[in-house]
Copies of this chain bind each other. A is one copy, B any other.
C-alpha cells in the first residue's frame, strides 16, 4: 500500500453553495473568502485538494472551529477509516483504493469528510475524477441531493468510494480465475510468489473495508442530529455493499487456499510420475544388465558360452523379461 510521495500536491479549494433552487461554484484562493459564506442560509460543500499546506489547514480549522484531534486525523494520511462525533461536527475518515492496471499494486488515498449541520468539507491528497459524477448530480436541479442535507451528500461521496472497491474486487476476481486456470493446466515456479502477492492485495483491501463497515455501523447507530434519520435507508444500502465486499474477499481467500493446496498436490503428483519413470526403466534394465554382465565374465569353464543357440536364447530371455515387467507395471496402473 503506497501513497505516491513524489507528486507535488496541487492545492485547490472548490466551494459549492447549493440549495433546492440554486447552485453556485467558487474557486477559493484564500481562506478569508470562505467566511462570507458561513452566514449564508444555503448548504455548501468545500472540497479541499492537497492536505499538506499546514497554514491553510490551520486557518480553515479556525474558521470552522474544527477540533484539534479532528485536524490531526485529517492531516495524518495513515489513519484507519473511522467515524468520530465532535460537538458540532462529525468526522468521517475513508480510504479510496485504486490500482493502475496491475492489481498487484494497490494505491490508497485518504478522503476525510467533515459533516456539519449545513455544510460538508472534504479533504483529499490529490485531485481524482472520482467525485465528478457527484458534481454532475449536484448540478441537476431535480436531483435528491439538492433537497437533502449535507449528510446525504457525504453518503453519496462514500457510496462513490465504495463503488470503486467493487472495481478492484472485480480485478482481484479475474486474477483469481487466471491463477485457477494456470494451476489447473500447467504450473510455473513463480506461481507461489504471484499467489502470495495476490493474497496481500486482498489483505490490503480488507484492511480498508473492515473498518469502513464499522464506520457505517457507527453512523447507523449514531444519534447525532447532524446525521439525519432520513439518510438511514440509503446508508443501509452501502452497509450491505461493505458486507458483500468482505464476504466476497473471504470467499476468494478460501479459493486461493484451496488452489495452493491443489498446486502442492500437483507437485507431488508430478514427482510421483518422475519416480515411476525412473523405477520402470531401472527395474527393467538393471536385471538385464546383470545378466549381460554375467556372460561377460571371463571364467574359463562357462558351458553356456559355447552352446550354439545361447546368444539367440538370451535375447529371447531379454525380450520375455521386459514384456513381463511391462505387463506387471500395466497391471499396477503405473503407465
Contacts and interface: CB of A to CB of B under 8 A. Distances in A.
Copies in the complex: 5
Contacts of A302: 298, 311
Nearest to A292: B293
Given A69-B234, A207-B247, A297-B296, A279 B290 contact: no
Nearest to A241: B80
Given A193-B262, A262-B193, A278-B278, A314 B286 contact: no
A281 B277 contact: no
A265 B305 contact: no
A233 B288 contact: no
A306 B243 CA distance: 85
A233 B311 contact: no
B268 A271 contact: yes
Contacts of A303: 311
Given A192-B266, A306-B300, A281 B281 contact: no
**In this complex, which of A274, A279, A305 has the most chain B Cβ atoms within 10 angstroms of its Cβ?**
A274
A260 B210 CA distance: 26
Contacts of A266: 192
Contacts of A174: none
A203 interface: yes
A281 B260 CA distance: 31
Interface in A163-211: 180, 184, 189, 192-193, 195-196, 199-200, 203, 207, 210
A240 interface: yes
Contacts of A296: 292-293, 296-298
Interface string A278-319: 110111011111101111111111111110111100100010
Nearest to A243: B80
Nearest to A255: B200
A76 B328 CA distance: 55
Contact of A203 (B196, B251, B304): B251
Given A258-B199, A292-B296, A271 B275 contact: yes
A236 interface: yes
Nearest to A303: B311
Contacts of A210: 247
A265 B260 CA distance: 10
A333 to B, nearest CB: 8
A148 to B, nearest CB: 12
Interface string A224-237: 00000000011011
A25 interface: no
A115 to B, nearest CB: 17
Contacts of A279: 274-275, 277-278, 281
Given A80-B240, A203-B251, A286-B289, 17 more contacts: A69-B234, A69-B236, A69-B237, A84-B233, A180-B196, A192-B262, A263-B265, A265-B267, A267-B268, A277-B283, A278-B283, A285-B287, A288-B293, A295-B297, A296-B296, A296-B297, A301-B308
7 contacts: A199-B258, A210-B247, A264-B268, A277-B283, A281-B286, A288-B293, A303-B311
